[in-house]
Amino acid sequence: MRDSCEKTINLMKYRVIVCKYNELGLKSSTYQTQLLNILMDSIKKICKREHLTLQSIISLPGRILCFFPSQEIIKALLIFKYIIGIQVFAPAITSPRKLEILSQKCVDYLSLLYQIHPFSSVTLVLKGNKNLINEYNSFSTELKQIIDINCQNAKLPINFTESSPDITLRVEFRKKGTYLYHLEYPTHFAGFPIESKKVFLLPWTNSPDEFLAGMLMVRRGSIVIPISIIQTDNYSDNKSKKKDLKNERNLLTEIAKYYADPLPWIKISQNELNNISNDFAQSRNEVWLKVLEKLCILSIERAFIHMGNRKLHFKGIIVPNSFESRIFRKENLKIPVFYPLIGFSFGFIQRIMEEYEHDPWNFSFHRFISQKSWESPSFLLRENKKLINPQKKAELQFSAQKSNVEINDSIILKIKSNLRVNFIIEEILESFN
């Protein structure tokens, strides 16, 4: 976070984060309520995990209000960037709706902003439930006039304008209060609340396109479970487990940050896969495909993997660009196969990942693909550049510590007749502390 933003947030003494979630109008009212409850539960779990004092959480039409002690707002803002289901969020202060008090609150707000970084123009935007205000139009006009007069009396050299202002001060009227804010931050991937009904397997080798393919499914409200081929058979060896996690950590733990519960990571030994290939005279890729298919089918019959209190039934396989997708087209699979990166060139994926690494605070996937700035030569990657390096994220300073790793019982999967394949599930929980 930029120093000026941090200074602004500290001086304003914000206590509430106003969260705007994606449009759920196409869903039934019952389903909307279910999705909102899922989103609010995720916020509660993440705040508890990160030792944030969530004093209150309120759901309103189009908004979720989260109240924190003012000294915890900066940390909360950093964490909210990773909450799937929220589109944008804003730190805000509260105010009574009484005209004289509200106008003075607005003047005090603008005065503090001017002390931090001077500006010359401002516009006032009133939003929310207009029915809460008697004679709303006259109230709005009078509020702007009083603020303008009080700013002049306070000798603030700022002008009110409707076009290209330096600052946009938003005032939201809600049933549970009135909220003032001027900063709005997008989440990384926005999307819809994550549901347990949508669960998919993602073949994982720690490549950027796998991360992006997974996140495009996550933003659609899906749970994405990575499955990897591991070099060692000695799963009981702690050094081997730590080495595996270290090798896969850069992007795998980035995905884990978007979930409130520990992320299950399924692993299979490469030697075991090779043995199956030899026994059935098939290529390793063909056997790998059969293993993925069988794993999905068995999970639908009986959930053997859990994520928190959710039973996971795999509904299909996610195919990133780096995977040999021809194999999937040849075989008549009994499960769906998803290609979320169709139309994404390798260079475009690199540019997205570069933006994600270099400016995580302002990164927004939706905004990035909607603009043309990625075509600029300044976005071209330097050769041999490591795409993701959490240690270089000076603004976020994630510890990347394995705060919770549990080894569950092995999964034994019948491929053919009595042939069995052993899987290991490792749970990864990434903390922001």
- Where do the domains of the chain lie? 3-186, 199-428
Q: What is the mean pLDDT of residues 4-19?
A: 83
Q: What pLDDT does 26 receive? A: 58
Confidence label for 282 from pLDDT (cuts 50, 70 and 90) = low
Does residue 44 or residue 362 have the better pLDDT?
A: 44
d(CA 210, CA 397): 24
Those residues whose C-beta lies under 8 Å from the C-beta of residue 356, and which sit 6 or more positions away, are 188, 363, 388
Q: What is the mean pLDDT of residues 198-223?
A: 91
Interval 117-154: pLDDT, tens: 889 999 999 988 888 888 888 998 999 999 999 998 98
d(CA 13, CA 19): 18
d(CA 387, CA 350): 8
d(CA 387, CA 393): 12
Please tell me the least confidently modeled range out of 38-47, 153-162, 202-211, 284-293: 284-293
Q: Which amino acid is at 126?
A: L
Q: Which SS3 state, helix, strand or coil, does residue 101 take?
A: helix
Q: What pLDDT does 398 receive? A: 25
Q: What is the mean pLDDT of residues 78-100?
A: 93
Q: What is the mean pLDDT of residues 145-168?
A: 90
Q: What is the mean pLDDT of residues 37-47?
A: 93
Token pair belonging to 268: 């299979």
Q: What is the mean pLDDT of residues 99-114?
A: 92
Checking if the pLDDT of 421 tops 60, the result is no
Q: Considering only the top CATH level, what class is 199-428? A: alpha beta
Interval 236-268: pLDDT, tens: 455 555 544 454 447 888 899 999 899 999 888
Report the relative pairing of strands 16-21 and 56-60 from DSSP bridges.
Answer: unpaired
Let me know if the fold of 3-186 is the same as that of 199-428.
Answer: no
Q: What pLDDT does 30 receive? A: 83
d(CA 214, CA 320): 8
The DSSP secondary structure of 42-91, one letter per residue, reads HHHHHHHHTT----EEEEETTEEEEE--GGGHHHHHHHHTT-TTEEEEEE
Residue 151, CA distances (Å) to 67, 114, 148, 416 in order: 29, 11, 5, 79
Confidence label for 276 from pLDDT (cuts 50, 70 and 90) = low
Q: Residue 407: beta bridge partners? A: 426
Please tell me the least confidently modeled range out of 232-236, 408-412, 426-430: 408-412
Q: What pLDDT does 191 receive? A: 87
Confidence label for 226 from pLDDT (cuts 50, 70 and 90) = very high
Checking if the pLDDT of 225 tops 90, the result is yes
Q: What pLDDT does 72 receive? A: 93
Checking if the pLDDT of 104 tops 70, the result is yes
- Count of CA atoms in the C-beta half-sphere (13 A) of 313: 6
Q: What pLDDT does 384 receive? A: 29
Interval 48-83: pLDDT, tens: 999 999 999 999 888 999 999 999 999 999 999 999
The mean predicted confidence, pLDDT, of the chain is 78
Question: Whole-model pTM?
Answer: 0.80
Please tell me the least confidently modeled range out of 21-25, 368-372, 381-385: 381-385
Q: What is the CATH number of domain 3-186?
A: 3.30.2130.30
